[in-house]
Amino acid sequence: MSESRVFITGTGIISAVGNNADEVFQALKTETSGIGRISLLETVHCDDLPAGEIKLSNRQLREIAGLPSGIPCSRTGLLGLIAARQALRQAKIDDMDACRTGLISGTTAGGMDRSEVFYRSFMDDHRRGRLRDVVTHDCGESTERIADGLSVRDYVATISTACSSSANSILYGSRLLKSGILDRVIVGGTEALTLFTLNGFNSLLILDRNVCRPFDRDRNGLNLGEGAAFLVLESERIALTVPERILCEVTGYGNACDAYHQTASSPEGHGAWLSMKKALETAKLQPDDIDYINAHGTGTQNNDLSEGIAIERLFESGIPLCSSTKSYTGHTLGAAGATEAVICVLTLANQIVFPNLNFNNRMEELHFSPVTTCRRDMRLNHVMSNSFGFGGNNTTIILSGYSHEDLH
């Protein structure tokens, strides 16, 4: 087995706060949230359940993605194709056959947005409804559509581990590079708002009727979001051919499952603590090496307390700066890990920590509070990103800055 470092050479993102990385960065540093009234998804909850919705129709997304009208594609697939192409452009990649290249995409609802359209007609009249809307339903279809659009042929995989899906795509992609199976891999996730997810989370009574308040004493639930984010990972050998493209390095990753409950984290945060601990061990770092944590921070009673307890257990009195950026984008479920990884790349590139919006009062059970204002001109070397999913599937990624001197 060959071991090598894993570098990020490109990122792409489309979310409620911007249609590309530059727009997302501007929103983050001006503390502008994308959470608001639902206007595109046809739901009875459009006025009482705010969400991080991308204000572009499927027709507009198709035009941006450059996908011909005759090819069936879900909103999930369109968002993913747009973000993945952005990542390739930044990495200056135009020949997908130059080295062994793979695609790993995470999602939870897949193309359910299209099958919901089908069943809306079909249930009224069983002679109605377009069957081509149903073929986009499964999670793997959006991955195949992205792979076809990018001409990726060597390796294609879909990961669906709830809200840790795209974080696990980064973990898995890094391991494929380190093991020498691939030379380059496009990793990330994509998720569209659907009635299934909106009504499902609403039935769990964990959606806030107002903007979410991660880590706040009076938090009352999460806001759903939609979007896609992808990163180009390259082995050391490939990245060093043009080192100027390197943005940062994937130095650590860890995955742990506490299997406590179908939808809740363990009260003691066992899985969260273990995934962070494993990530530090993979990166060969100590807790005090971490300069910032992009927390999972959903704004629910259970998650924020469980994650906060795990952070305090691991970092003890030396807790780094911490914030949840879901107060900007909403919780993008399967795309959350990659969305926040791209935000962490922006954090390292610009040496700025983005704040936890809507925070007013520290949780009584915790001894730390999240960052509430933009922290600029920082000295950030290692940042941690947490993504925790239903079923207790917890994943932590560590990204690190680099200098050209370190590459030799």
Taken in order 297, 23, 53, 12, the sign of the CA dihedral is negative
User: Are the C-beta atoms of 248 and 7 separated by less than 8 Å?
Assistant: yes
Q: CA angle, corner 89, sides to 408 and 74, nearest 5?
A: 130
| Amino acid of residue 23 | E
Instruction: Please identify which residue in the block is written with the tokens 């020498």.
Output: 180
Neighbouring-strand partners of residue 394: 256, 388
Write the DSSP symbol of residue 241: T
Calpha distance 277→310 (Å, rounded): 10
Within 13 A of 205's CA, how many CA atoms are on the CB side? 2
Let me know: does 84 contact 21? Beta carbons within 8 Å: no
Output the CA–CA distances (angstroms, integers) from residue 111 to 97, 331, 404, in the order listed. 28, 18, 42
Verify whether residue 261 is a known catalytic residue. no
CA dihedral 23, 29, 35, 39 (to 10 degrees): -30
Helix (H) / strand (E) containing 101: strand 101-106
* Contact between 397 and 252 (Cβ < 8 Å): yes
Secondary structure element (H or E) that encloses residue 65, with its range:
helix 58-65
Both tokens assigned to 119 = 């069943």
Q: Of 73, 137, 139, 163, which residue is the catalytic one?
A: 163
Query: What residues contact residue 68 under an 8 Å CB cut-off, 6+ apart?
Result: none
Q: Is 296 a catalytic residue?
A: yes
**276, containing H or E segment:** helix 270-283
CB-based contacts of 151: which residues, under 8 Å, 6+ apart? 96, 97
Q: Which one of 73, 139, 270, 296 is the catalytic residue?
A: 296
C-beta separation of 362 from 332 below 8 A? no
Q: Is 45 an annotated catalytic residue?
A: no
Catalytic residue among 212, 331, 344, 382: 331
Per-residue DSSP letters for 27-58?
HHHTT----B---SS--TTTTTS-BB-----H
Distance CA 13, CA 229 (A): 4
Active site residues: 163, 296, 331
